[in-house]
Structure 1
């Protein structure tokens, strides 16, 4: 939510260094079954279109193979996971954050 509408927001840099930990966590959570969704076809389609492109340091950045593919919902999920990881105080887990989003 924009500050002029009474809310708070966090700026999330869109670079490989910031995306890489979230991409790795999302992948691990999906593979282990820790992260599930309601079957939303748009999210499923976007996640299926994501390719992790490594930079020269080995950090991953979300990209797509073809211009017509969309990854917006997957990128939003990665940004939310990244924010959850940055705000982790050891008290709550990722699923708790996703179940109880904070809106200003």
Structure 2
């Protein structure tokens, strides 16, 4: 989404491309780093609770992004919360479900 929203964010908020790209980069970094921890959390507290927590984080991030007005808001919503929430749901979820079924 940041690539598509780059020009509108630049025009609306006056933020530079490096600020928007940095927030996206933090999100991608946390997306990759969250996977192993999400898998351990799925084993410890269960798949359903972990998935529910991740979806709540992602929906909260989306809702809070409506209120962003400063660059650090972008880092927190799109970088940190979206990265953690999507990283907990993405690749580890499929591997965990396949492992439990077979």
Q: Could you say which structure has the higher strand fraction?
A: 1
Q: Could you say which structure has the higher helix fraction?
A: 2
Q: TM-score, normalised by structure 2?
A: 0.29
Q: Which has the higher contact order (CA 8 A, sep 6+)?
A: 2
Q: TM-score, normalised by structure 1?
A: 0.29
Larger Rg: 2
